[in-house]
Chain A
Amino acid sequence: MEERSTTRSVSDAGVPVRRRLRIGDLTLRGGTVAVSLGLVVLLAGLLVVLATGAAPALSQLGLSFFTSRQWDPVTNHFGALPYIYGTLVTSTVALVLALPVSIGLALLLNEVRSKWVRNPLTVLVDLLAAIPSVVYGLWGLFVLAPALNTYLAPFLARTLGKLPVLGALFVPTPAVGNMLNAGVILAVMIVPIITAVTREVIATVPADLREASLALGATRFESIRMAVLPYARSGIVGATMLGLGRALGETIAVSMVIGNGLGISASLLAPGYTIPAVIANEFREATSTGLQHSALLALALVLVVIALVLAGASRLLVRRSERGFR
């Protein structure tokens, strides 16, 4: 008490400022510490619950859970490989499609000075992010999938399908649900996320850098390529990881268009299955007597681990690219 009163100072307006700020600081500090600790506890709790739930399946099936292609609730044999494969393939397709579009959009939104172009576009991109995924799923099922199957798939099979190695990706199948559909839907869903973050990141590129490159005689494109993008690189990596996280975890929209077929096919035009989709599909009616329940929890654990590994990898990547630039 003594000490506090000696440090108390009085502002021009005659109100003790230090004291007041101090109470604010303390509450803020307490609050943030509590919240962040809570978050850690939450994550730990989540992992513990998943791990205990998954333990029966993992201990009984062992390594075959990760290598087997069978998923048979009747004989209690479960293998996660087709789901892991489908999840990674669809997310990769989504990223390949979404990244160039997003970076292009973000650049456009920063470079174009006319607010008549910029503002509506910004709002549109943000609106895309606000559409619930089940709506994307419905649209994918009734509009996108038929359109892709009627026009795009035969075209891809005719053109890219003829190439030596790449051709294996586009072997046509008559199935209406396939991994390409899922990849395209996911791309549409993650474009707004990557765009929004990339836009913010690019906006922080110092004007000096840009002006300097222009003063040295760089064209606008060269200035973007050599000054803007390298500076924003770490941020763009972060944005990409955010998008990837969404793509990995997306459930209902993917489940509606991917065909939910158990199988590992090189062709993107074949049905596939993802981890979130199978959990959502089977959990509701999973029998608690067999291993199915536990196997689904094990799948959830695998998904969380994939997401955590990717998050870690992106941290590393960001740090590496930052060091490379500075």
Chain B
Amino acid sequence: MPPSRPWVLGEFRCLATVNDEEKRGRFVKLRRLLVAGVAVALVAGALALAGCSSGSSNNGATTKAFNGAALVGAGATFPGPVYSAWAQSFQKVESGAQVNYQAIGSGGGVQQFTAKTVDFGATDVSLLASETAQVKGSFIQFPTCLGAVTLAYNVPGLSAPLNLDGPTIASIFLGKIKKWNDPAIAALNSGVKLPSTSIQIVHRADGSGTTSIFTTWLSGQSADWKSKVGKGKSVQWPVGQGGNGNAGVAAAIKQTAGAIGYIELQYAATAGLPVASVKAPDGTFVVPSVDSVAKAASGLSFPITETTNILDSSVAGAYPISSTTYILIYTDQTDQAKAQTLVDFWTWALTKGQSELKTLNYAPLPSNVAQSSLGELGKITVAGKAVTPSPAVK
């Protein structure tokens, strides 16, 4: 047997040399492609293995103290960093609780929740009546943390912080106000010397809850905006350029003289850009901050419906463009361990977990709202029996 192998190989090699150079070039290329393909396959395989091992290891619900089960959630990108941080910290409370949150976007979160492929869904916009109608089974919806949309700008030569109100912001984003020294802006900033730089609009290019919150607010501020643009996760912007995500918008603002754009509060804090104070319904100008956003949320009422939002809160000192983000969970659970982990995790997140929010530049829920959310969690049952939080999370 052994002597035959070199013979066959030799014949193949011979075949190869018979062909012209062009063919040989092709062989070489083929080989390279093969090597590359194998490498890619190996990496993909390794990743898949890693994913499997981290995803489905522990289901130890039989030990004395409740240890937690693996949970899968999906949805909004805005609270993604918070949920990941919470998931990590919660493992110190229940070591078996592996909360795997996929920040795929609010739309995807609602879809997966409706399809029951996840243990909880997450969305930046409370469920629409039409979406609620598609959900089979009763569910709860509660806020977990707060955010806000801030107006960041880059106006060389402007030192004082800028004051803006709703109609002016709408006119700016409609392209009607073209210069920074426009009388409408000057009227809101008496005593501030405004440059004649032309205004450059930067908006989000990707569909996002931030855009939805901002355009919903603008629609309430300006009839013109409502009729010409409207509200949604992506809209047709009359003017300006689009950046990808908060980082893309911030980068474009930084690089463009005279630019103004909207970014999330937790991002504005780290972007190093000045942000405008926005006129509240009571006529005062409010600086966006963790505290002014928390004030806005104190007026939140339950149950959460299609029209629930905390925009233009009447509470004194509340930032007008504040927002909440929601979690969706079915109340009739079938798996005892999962249900227990769900209740434990979110109970912990709404109580002890809230203290982690400020370091991430998100605003924590006011205590009355957190209490109402905990009340919603109490509706979760397994086979008709209520699930009470484990002692460890309290």
Contacts and interface: CB of A to CB of B under 8 A. Distances in A.
B25 interface: yes
Given A71-B236, A204-B25, A262-B236, A281 B200 contact: no
A7 B195 CA distance: 94
B107 interface: yes
Interface string A3-16: 00000000111010
B133 to A, nearest CB: 11
A289 B248 CA distance: 28
Interface stretch (A51-59, A111-119, A139-147, A210-218): A139-147
Contacts of A255: 205, 244
Nearest to A146: B255
A75 B234 CA distance: 11
Interface in B80-109: 104-108
Nearest to B206: A281
Interface residues on A, range: 35 or more
Contacts of B7: 11-13, 15
A142 B105 contact: no
B229 interface: yes
Nearest to A141: B251
Contacts of B236: 70-74, 262
Given A175-B200, A285-B233, A17 B25 contact: no
A261 B241 contact: yes
Contacts of A204: 21-22, 25
A283 B205 CA distance: 11
A224 to B, nearest CB: 19
A29 to B, nearest CB: 16
Contacts, number: 119
Interface string A170-187: 000011110000000000
Contacts of A203: 21, 25
B242 A74 contact: no
Contacts of A271: 241-242
Given A75-B230, A174-B200, A176-B256, A285 B106 contact: yes
Interface residues on B, range: 35 or more
Interface in B233-247: 233-237, 240-244
Contact of A256 (B105, B128, B248): B248
Contacts of B382: none
B353 interface: no
Contacts of A281: 205-207, 234, 242, 244
A73 B232 contact: yes
A238 to B, nearest CB: 13
A149 B108 CA distance: 37
A286 B22 CA distance: 48
A132 to B, nearest CB: 13
A287 B232 CA distance: 9
A255 B204 CA distance: 11
Contacts of B244: 255-256, 260, 281
Interface in A280-313: 280-289, 292
Nearest to A293: B107
A260 B242 contact: yes
B108 A284 contact: yes
B4 interface: yes
A20 interface: yes
Nearest to B108: A284
Interface in A12-26: 12-13, 15, 17, 20-21
A177 B243 contact: yes
B311 interface: no
Nearest to A75: B230
Nearest to A280: B206
A322 to B, nearest CB: 13
B272 interface: no
Interface in B184-232: 198, 200, 205-209, 229-232
Identify the 4 closest CB pairs spanning chains A and B, nearest first. A285-B207, A260-B242, A260-B205, A74-B230
Interface of B: 1, 3-4, 7-8, 21-22, 25, 29, 104-108, 111, 128, 130-131, 198, 200, 205-209, 229-237, 240-244, 248, 251-252, 255-258
